[in-house]
Structure 1
Amino acid sequence: MNKIKQHIYKAMFWLLPWLCAVPLASCSFDDDIDTGGDNAPATLQLSITAREEGDLNTRVGTEVGQDNEYMHNLLVLFIQNGKVVKKFLPDLRYDEAAKVGNLKTWESEKFTLAPGTYTVYAFANIDSYFSTAWSSLTGLGENASIPNDVNIDNIVLEDNPASKLDFVTYFIPMSAKEDVTVTSDTRKVSIGLDRLVSKIRMSITGKPDTKVTALSFGGYADKITLFSDKTLEGETYTTTKTITVSGDGTLKADVSGTTGTLAIPDFYVNSSPDGHPFTVNIKTVETTGIIHDATAVTQRNVLPRNSIFPLTLQLNDYGLDLEAQCWVSPIGSLPVEVTVGFTPDTYEITVPEGCQFAFTVKGININGGNTSYITNLTGTWNMPDGVSGIAFDGATTGVTTVKGHVTASVGKTVNLSLLVTWQDNGATYNRTYTVKLTTADLTNYPFYSKQTRTPEFGLDYLRHEMLNMFIK
């Protein structure tokens, strides 16, 4: 009997390979299955990462993002032939990093995908608060066709999206679009997200103890396309960001004691296309009580998405080089010029009652230096409303010389506003000065018997006196 069993076992050992080759046999070995070559579905994993920001100075390449600058929510669509082949809308409500916008990378579970080319759209931190089209995207289901009224490529975030960031509920919008080719050997697809805003990193240098009382950055686009290869339409470039100044706004002296600095917390503005420079307005008060209101326009005229723009504001001493002339007409005499009185180191001019005057902007003296490179210098003068006894004669806008007359009695004081505009190395600057004009007793001013003809005014006068008046 044992011999019979041994013969049966030997027969089965030799027949087993042949039985497994029969089509209906139930034997299988997973490691030996023919996958069908390049047409077999790929088993892969998706990785989404928020890219690091690029410094526009390009000297340091990219920079690691700060807290709250990463992912809070996420949507990914694999599109092929107008259909959603695969969709990822992960529930990140309970992810501790995502709650505060700090999720740097998200990875999916493994999934299968047929070989082919797909357009992958990825979005983070976008909801209906930024775009009413958002629900049209999140509502798409797998194997569904993209509706005719949903054009993903042309979606625009309207109404100054950068102004909506609060880093509690609303975080920096991000997007990516990439054509991906999947083969049976593909094991991972990695997509990098770009932030749709630019970060402005501003610092201020100038006299120690100067206090910044107001600051703004403007001139960027009021809307953003989801993708950089799309052109904005109907946008405006009048959007302005009012900046909160840290601390008390005072420029703190460095170790030398000669230069003050103030760092402004990073802030975000909408990315903007080429061709639109940006305007910075600043108002400061010096320890002497002198108030300055200055404007400058940047040479940079584009803010790419996912970028950092380092910007230093140098509060130079922009001294006003001002020439003042004055004439009086004593009874029986032609008008003669008299010496103009002034208070040193301030823009205070004293003229006699009943005189004619002419003030000329000769230049801007930067930190006491040469102004020969200053171009397109003009001035615009303004008289306060309701002033009587002092008036301008002729043009007051876009001029270098303004003329006027005084009929007021002794002791009249008027604060004239002078906006001076100039260009320096292609950049445009504006600064507002206050010129305090005061009338004094005519008998305090001498008359001259020696006269010289001046063709411009048709008057006889002895000479003129130029006053170079700078902020000290």
Structure 2
Amino acid sequence: MNKMKQHIYKAMLWLLPWLCAVPLASCSFDDDIDQGGDGTATLQLSITAREEGDLNTRADEVGTNGEYMHNLCVLIVDGNNVVTKKLLPNTDDEFAGNTAAQQGNLKSWVSDPFTLPEGTYTVYAFANIDTYYDNLWGSLTGLQSGASLTTLNVDIDNIVLEDPAAKLNFAEGKFIPMSAKQTVVVTAATKSISIGLDRLVSKIRMSISGKANTKVTALSFGGYADKITLFSEKPLEGEAYSTTKTITVPEGGWSLDNDGKLTIPDFYVNSSPADHKFNVSVTTDEMNGITYEATTVRGELPRNSIFPLTLQLNDYGLDLAAQCWVSPIGSLPVEVQITGFDNTYQIVVPEGCQFEFTVNGVKNSGGTTTVTNPECNWNIPEGVDGIIFESQTTNVKTIKGHVTASAGKTFDLSLLVTWQDNGATYNRTYTVKVLTDDITNFPFKSKTRTPEFGLDYLRHEMLNMFKK
């Protein structure tokens, strides 16, 4: 008989792992949560803020301070669109006493055990969304268990946030909005539900390469969506892809290091699901101020992603030429000798002159003109008075105009030049600086005289007069 007991005991030890594996959830040595009875389950809910994914390496990256949960709302909705369970730990003082939550650094949260009837549910989870993102937040946190979303006309699936990236301010407690939606099947054996939250924004990680010690004075990233749906499976409607993030540059600008490198602090933009490319603008202190513009190959920014972007400031210069004429009294305009543009696109012209500026082409870093037919668009910025264009300004190589008859004036003109080189398209906005000087400092190019007027200017003379 003892031998028979030993055989039975050994057989039970051999069968135990198999009995626990089918089904796995039905065999547990965790006595912390009692199983529900009569068609119910006692379980816990686990919420985690997912790590961000690098769009280049496809690897996940641990977030930085402020990129996790600050507040949380969870709604468990049954098949009849009725809220079966609401969890709001931030109003239950659970988050209030949590330092990580107060700083937007809470990575995960686990609820106390609760009971649910067996069935299929939709779990909605929202973090860091408050009334400053959308007025509907109050209607979500105000819902109670047993509330019918249909009766209350609450359409969670179609909630859209207007430009949430523009409202981020960690110092003021406005952290990155996150959301999740997941269908779960609850049986009597269910002990836990795990939900991962996705951030509704994308992080831009930008670096700049160019000439050593060049200063960046302005920077922007644009072309992303002006709104975002709470859930990725919902398409946007009526959105515009014209939103621009202007990065705050410190006074004096950012300087590229001795190796010509600059790393920009990470910033956030709204995730953009559609195929709309993004435009970048960088202004430097080179040559009185040059603005570089480019468009990305990438046309999508998934939520919860990191977009590493390197801006290469290629060294292209302008081949600029100029002519000027003055109009002595009683004479036709006569051309005068001018020095021409210097290497910063600055030129000194006589007061009251007529001018003609021509873009002969674009030069590479070696000083060779590589593009002879660029598209040029001239502009007089708003608020600049005393200079006028007298010809077409769009897609022209040569611009004509005149300046005021006053010496000592400075006019900053804007010149947008577009060209192609080795299959790539380039856009640069150059600042052309025009200064006026005393008309007598510019000799005529031609010494030809006319009978009615001598074309040589005489130098100014001061004659002292005395009473007789």
Could you say which TM-score interval applies, normalised by the shorter chain?
0.7 to 0.9
1:381–1:402 contact (8 Å) kept in structure 2? no
Alignment equivalent of 1:195, drawn from 187, 199, 204: 199
Q: Indicate the residue corresponding to 2:25 in structure 1.
A: none
Q: Indicate the residue corresponding to 2:394 in structure 1.
A: 397
Supply the distance in 1 between the matched residues of 2:274 and 2:390 (Cα, whole angstroms). 43
Cα distance, 1:223 vs. partner? 2.3
Distance 1:67 1:405, change over 3 A: closer
1:212 correspondence with 2:216: yes
Q: Indicate the residue corresponding to 1:470 in structure 2.
A: none
Cα distance, 1:130 vs. partner? 1.4
| Deviation string, structure 1 residues 112-144 (Cα, Å, up to 9, x no partner) | 333332111111111222111112212222233
CA RMSD for the aligned pairs? 3.8
Distance 1:373 1:301, change over 3 A: farther
Please, what TM-score do these two structures have when normalized by structure 2? 0.74
Please, what TM-score do these two structures have when normalized by structure 1? 0.73
- Aligned residue for 1:71, secondary structure, equals coil
2:334–2:444 contact (8 Å) kept in structure 1? no
Supply the AA of the counterpart residue of 1:302: E
Q: Indicate the residue corresponding to 1:17 in structure 2.
A: none
1:283 correspondence with 2:283: yes
Q: Indicate the residue corresponding to 1:314 in structure 2.
A: 312
Alignment equivalent of 2:356, drawn from 355, 358, 361: 358
Distance 1:182 1:448, change over 3 A: farther
Supply the AA of the counterpart residue of 1:290: N
1:100–1:168 contact (8 Å) kept in structure 2? no
Distance 1:77 1:353, change over 3 A: closer
- What does 1:8-407 correspond to in 2, within 5 Å? 40-57=39-56, 59-80=57-78, 81-90=80-89, 91-146=94-149, 147-158=151-162, 160-245=164-249, 249-253=253-257, 257=258, 259-286=259-286, 290-325=288-323, 341-342=339-340, 344-349=342-347, 357-368=355-366, 377-382=375-380, 385-387=384-386, 391-404=388-401
Supply the AA of the counterpart residue of 1:212: V
Once the two structures are overlaid, the 10-residue window that deviates more, 323-332 or 210-219, is 323-332
- Aligned residue for 2:166, secondary structure, equals helix
2:124–2:179 contact (8 Å) kept in structure 1? yes
Structure 1: 5+ residue stretches without partners: 1-30, 450-472
Supply the AA of the counterpart residue of 1:421: V
Cα distance, 1:438 vs. partner? 4.7
Distance 1:149 1:403, change over 3 A: same
Supply the distance in 2 between the matched residues of 1:219 and 1:70 (Cα, whole angstroms). 26
Supply the AA of the counterpart residue of 1:240: T
Supply the distance in 2 between the matched residues of 1:353 and 1:138 (Cα, whole angstroms). 69
1:380–1:396 contact (8 Å) kept in structure 2? yes
Supply the distance in 2 between the matched residues of 1:106 and 1:443 (Cα, whole angstroms). 78
Supply the distance in 2 between the matched residues of 1:246 and 1:353 (Cα, whole angstroms). 37
Greater Rg over alpha carbons, structure:
1
Q: Identity rate of aligned residues, in percent?
A: 55
2:53–2:59 contact (8 Å) kept in structure 1? yes
Distance 1:348 1:423, change over 3 A: closer
- Aligned residue for 2:138, secondary structure, equals helix
Distance 1:173 1:428, change over 3 A: farther
1:429 correspondence with 2:420: no
1:299–1:427 contact (8 Å) kept in structure 2? no
Supply the distance in 2 between the matched residues of 1:246 and 1:351 (Cα, whole angstroms). 35
Distance 1:190 1:312, change over 3 A: same
Cα distance, 1:252 vs. partner? 4.5
Q: Indicate the residue corresponding to 2:411 in structure 1.
A: 415
Cα distance, 1:51 vs. partner? 0.6
Cα distance, 1:333 vs. partner? 11
Supply the AA of the counterpart residue of 1:284: T
Supply the distance in 1 between the matched residues of 2:442 and 2:172 (Cα, whole angstroms). 70
Supply the AA of the counterpart residue of 2:248: T
- Aligned residue for 1:342, secondary structure, equals coil
Matched residues, number: 406
Cα distance, 1:174 vs. partner? 0.3
1:74–1:89 contact (8 Å) kept in structure 2? yes
| Deviation string, structure 1 residues 197-224 (Cα, Å, up to 9, x no partner) | 1112222232333233333333333322
Q: Indicate the residue corresponding to 1:24 in structure 2.
A: none
Distance 1:448 1:143, change over 3 A: same
Supply the distance in 2 between the matched residues of 1:349 and 1:139 (Cα, whole angstroms). 67
Distance 1:154 1:328, change over 3 A: same
| Deviation string, structure 1 residues 415-451 (Cα, Å, up to 9, x no partner) | 35132131555666241322425565597344399xx
